[in-house]
Amino acid sequence: MLYNAKSGLLLWLWCVAFISQNGNCDVSESYNPCCSYPCMNFGICNSIGFTAEYSCDCYGTGYFGNNCEIATWRVWIKTRFMPSPLFVKSQLVRWKYIWSIVNNIDFLSRMFMRVLLTSMPMRPKSPEAFNTAASYTTWDGYANKSYYALTMQPVPENCPTPMGIAGPQKLPDPEELVKRVFTRTKFKACPRRTSVLLPYYGQHLTHQALKSYREFPLLTWGQHTIDMSHIYGETLQKQRILRSMVEGKMKMQVLNGEEYPPKLADCPGINMSYPASTPEHIRFALGHPFFALLPNLLYWSTLWLREHNRVCDIMAEVHPNWDDERLFQTARLITLGELLTITGSSYLQQISGNYLRLRYLPELMHDTASQWENHRIPVEFNTLYRWHSAMPDFYTIAGKDYTLKEIIFNAAPLIDHGTAAFTISSSKQIAGRGTGGRNMAKLLHPVALQTIKMNRDAKLPPFNRYREYFGLPRYETFEDLTGETRLAKVLRDLYIDVDAVEFYVGIFVEKIAYRKMFGQTLIEAIGNYAFKIIYSNALASPEYWRESTFGGKVGFDIVRDADLKSFVCRNVEGCPRASFRVEEGIGFISDEDSEVMMYDDLADIRSPSENHEKKHAEL
């Protein structure tokens, strides 16, 4: 539906501008009719030769007509008498006391979880028609898994503007865009009191599937799924190097009285991305070359290795006749099941803000038409997980502060203070506000610049197109988008038209939704992408989600009963409190900083180290 009301006017205006420069407006030679997105309800537009004609492929949309504008009877009845997925989810952040009753009655809890899961469209459908191989459907794009998927048909070639027909003829300079829209002017804490442990977890979760080549970010070397390859490796060769080959266990070493991943020197054939200055004693071997560069990634990898070896001991006791290979393979399935369960419950609970207790219950989907296969990861999923605004300017670990610069590529803070202190500190420190703009530390700007370039190379459609794709109303003004006026003015200067705002920009400048960590669009997209990736995992299928897969009832109970607190408690000495949400009255920021701040002038921007020094001067 996007753009149809005003596409004619915009095309006329573009024509006037074109005539002033070229003396004519020969649409057949200079304008692709699909640029105005004439096909409604996300039918696929096909231009016809060098003409102004086009056709709309409406198959599978539930609509028909020249522009896919007429609903079938089934869709017409559904849209008028069935509650929309957005309405269903809006009820989950209200009626707190009613949901508390539901949460304590098992059959009601399961019933509402099924309603939630079956009401989600789980987009995009698989197999995905579009990917980064080409702007049209190809067999190579399907067969070659090195390409990322695209949620929608990319912006057509030969359009008046980069976003189709809306906005400026040239998109804003990336560096100016990042400086004016993303630069942190003052740390703004997450209103949901999300702890930094959550973005830490999110990074370790998604990097298992998001594995882009540095030189070619639209290509991936991953398997498009959550598979625990960050500790086991993505190849059998790496796996065997990292295994002890005894009792199913992984190699480990002891530092300061705690178990950590093995030394890199003890695992010949494993390549890690360490700076040359990294001391040998803190060079670890893991399945992913990036996972030992940051303390938070090393932290989660360490805990999962400990859990794997713990599970091996349990399985060896239950099945004393099993050999090393079977103990390893079963322990790997159990740890992957635990990861999916913790993600589908503890992790998504904090992100969603729902009062309904989320539970990972794949069996609720076994009698549905769910597809149990490894889906291709979309570029958009890669884009919306750039939560760098959640990173504070400094981290407090066991009473000692580290700036961002001091903690990146440096595992020493984790080793020096230990996993217990790291758990406590990460659970008590409040993360930054994820959306709303102007909350990204300068040190992380290169990530934003890279993301903008990646999105432009993929020719992603405008942000408002994604709003409609996920069943949300499009924004009419920049003020609607941001919920305020100062940032709206900046965006208007850069994009002219709200329909020209790029996907990445829109996701992270959108106003925060009620009881959410992020804006409604990001939450809705995660609700499709994240739920899809964990519920379509082969382990969740009817063939795998059963006792025999996990070595019997004991192993299956470990998987189904997994939650964040018990997982950390079992694998960190002293059973420290682990939480994705900072309790009221606890935290390493003041009450004043916890509020949603108005933006300071750009002249007040400070580097992370300067913010760190200013913070301590005030204290």
- Alpha-carbon gap, residue 218 to 149, rounded angstroms: 9
Question: Which stretches within 256-294 are classed as H helix?
Answer: none
The CA dihedral of 511, 515, 521, 527, to the nearest 10 degrees, is 160
The Cα diameter of the chain in Å comes to: 86
Token digits for 404?
Answer: 């961002």
The CA dihedral of 26, 166, 128, 474, to the nearest 10 degrees, is -140
Annotated active-site residue 207? The verdict is: yes
Angle at which helices 96-103 and 106-119 pack, to 10 degrees?
Answer: 110
* Alpha-carbon distances, residue 372 vs 34, 130, 220, 368, 537 (angstroms): 34, 20, 21, 11, 6
Q: 588-597: which pairs have CB atoms within 8 A and are 24 or more residues apart?
A: 588/396, 588/425, 588/428, 588/429, 588/430, 589/187, 589/189, 589/392, 589/429, 589/430, 593/187, 593/189, 594/189, 594/191, 594/193, 594/430, 595/189, 596/188, 596/191, 596/433, 596/436, 596/512, 597/186, 597/188
Q: Is the peptide bond before 124 cis (omega within 30 degrees of 0)?
A: yes
Phi, psi at 171, each rounded to 5°: -65, 155
Is the four-CA dihedral 448, 450, 451, 453 of positive or negative sign? Answer: positive
Identify which of 499, 495, 379, 377 has the alpha carbon closest to the alpha carbon of residue 135: 379
DSSP 588-615: SS-HHHHS-PPPPPGGG---HHHHHHHH
- Alpha-carbon gap, residue 254 to 277, rounded angstroms: 22
Catalytic residue among 201, 360, 385, 529: 385
Phi, psi at 487, each rounded to 5°: -70, -35
For 369, residues 6+ apart whose C-beta sits below 8 A from its C-beta are: none
* Alpha-carbon distances, residue 593 vs 27, 115, 296, 434 (angstroms): 54, 38, 24, 15
Annotated active-site residue 385? The verdict is: yes
Phi, psi at 351, each rounded to 5°: -65, -40
- Alpha-carbon gap, residue 27 to 30, rounded angstroms: 5
- Alpha-carbon gap, residue 154 to 615, rounded angstroms: 45
- Alpha-carbon gap, residue 91 to 426, rounded angstroms: 31
Catalytic residue among 54, 201, 207, 375: 207
Eight-class DSSP state of 346: I
- Alpha-carbon gap, residue 154 to 141, rounded angstroms: 14
Eight-class DSSP state of 250: B
- Alpha-carbon gap, residue 400 to 412, rounded angstroms: 13
For 37, residues 6+ apart whose C-beta sits below 8 A from its C-beta are: 2, 3, 4, 7, 45, 164, 461, 465
Question: What are the catalytic residues?
Answer: 207, 385
